[in-house]
Structure 1
Amino acid sequence: MIVEVKLNVVITGVGGQGLITLANVIANAALREGVNSIVAETHGLSQRGGTVIVHVRLGDVEAPLIPKGEGDLMLSMELLEAARYLDFLSKDAEIVVNDYLLPPPLPGIEVPSRNFILNVLNRWKVFTVPATSKALQLGDPRSANMVLLGKALKHTKLGEFISLNSVLETVRELWPKAYEINKRAIEVGMA
């Protein structure tokens, strides 16, 4: 029997950018909406700033990992990491990417320019958002992931599966002390 997956979300970035938090908010908000969700992360040296990819599958699914070429939506906290995992996306996928370039801390590595990366990403429907700078303006750089989420909720298929209310209820339940800053960050992303 073929299982129809409603939404495959690929979340990318580097360790410390709140990717697993972002995945948990999406998955828990989906559960509040009555939509099944599975989260799987592969993060290697994430605690040392290494690459992280998190798979979030919404709907009736049997496996946690998104097959290559079947991602419907990518949320990326960093431009290079968005480009690194494009093979997970379907041809009709949407991308919401933080307009932030974090070169690897390795000597002699040539990093493509921001414009080059954006040209590669433009094969898909792309939404760029200055999530890091918006979070800094809000006074908490840790909220950049919620700025990105706000953009995705308003402008992509994700908003068809989870509502702002479900997201805010999830954030309030999981991180009550950080609720207000995260709420503002989501609102900034939606604006």
Structure 2
Amino acid sequence: MGINSKINIVIAGVGGQGIITLSKIIGDAAVKENVKVLVAETHGLSQRGGSVEVHLRIGDVYAPLVPKGEADILLSMELIEAARNIDYLNQNGIVITSDVILRPPIPGVKLPKKEEIVSEFKRNNIKYYIIPTKDLSEKAGSYLSENMVLLGALYKLANLEKFISIDSIKESIKTMRNPEINLKAFELGSSFITSI
């Protein structure tokens, strides 16, 4: 790791999607390898299906929150949350998002279409990857492993191996419930990126 080597990741989604678990897996793996990692959870309305953000900073970092405009990666469990948090990205930042759109619990809210969100990414020259997390997690054995599908995609796209070995990530995943399913989901997310 170089002197100024760091990566800033903002993870966004809705309460109950496993965002905190995903950040804990990365944090635990980094700690095992003596890599500096700072994690800040902003739960919001996580108990009620509201927005949740986790700021994850790895390497040469000194404050837990990623300032707006400084995230290298915006990782989102939900497409609307990706759009809502886009101002965290730096100029060369990448969006890695699930293709899922969840209906808010408020009746009568008009949902944007996937195409509308994607066209905004394109209009603003944002580099993005949309991952079919629902399909891949069901292929792994449980829709509850969508977060591990995204972790696999993140590991590949963000070059996290510069900071944390894949073995440490897998060891952390093995501490979860249903480790076989979660490991398979991680592999499927990683393979999906390799195939595009």
Scaled by the length of structure 2, the TM-score of the pair is: 0.89
2:194 alignment counterpart: none
Aligned to 2:69: 69
- For residue 152 of structure 2, what is the amino acid of its counterpart? G
SS of alignment partner, residue 34 of structure 2:
coil
| Cα distance in 1 for residues equivalent to 2:92 and 2:159 | 11
Cα deviations across residues 116-137 of structure 1 (Å, max 9, x unaligned)?
Answer: 1112234222111111221123
Q: CA-atom RMSD, angstroms?
A: 1.6
Name structure 2 gaps, 5 residues minimum. 192-196
| Percentage of matched positions with identical amino acids | 47
Query: Counterpart of 1:151 in 2: which secondary structure?
Result: helix
Structure 2 residue 132 is the aligned partner of structure 1 residue 130: yes
Q: For 1:33 and 1:73, how far apart are their aligned partners in 2?
A: 22
Q: Deviations over 1:41-96 (max 9, x none)?
A: 11121011000010001013221111000001111000000000111110101111
Deviates more, 1:115-124 or 1:49-58: 115-124
Task: Give 1:153's match in structure 2, choosing from 152, 155, 162.
Answer: 155
Gaps of 5+ in 1: none
Listed as ranges, the matches of 1:80-159 within 5 Å are: 80-122=80-122, 123-159=125-161
Compute the displacement of 1:5 (Å): 6.3
SS, match of residue 118 in structure 1: helix
| Residue number in structure 2 paired with 1:168 | 170
Worse-superposed segment, 46-55 or 104-113: 104-113
How many residue pairs end up in the alignment?
A: 187
Q: What SS class does the counterpart of residue 64 from structure 1 fall into?
A: coil
Give 1:82's aligned amino acid.
Answer: A
Residue 109 of structure 1: how far off its partner (Å): 1.7
How far apart, in 2, do the equivalents of 1:137 and 1:83 lie?
27
Is the contact between residue 135 and residue 142 of structure 1 (CA under 8 Å) also seen in structure 2? yes
Moved over 4 A (4+): none
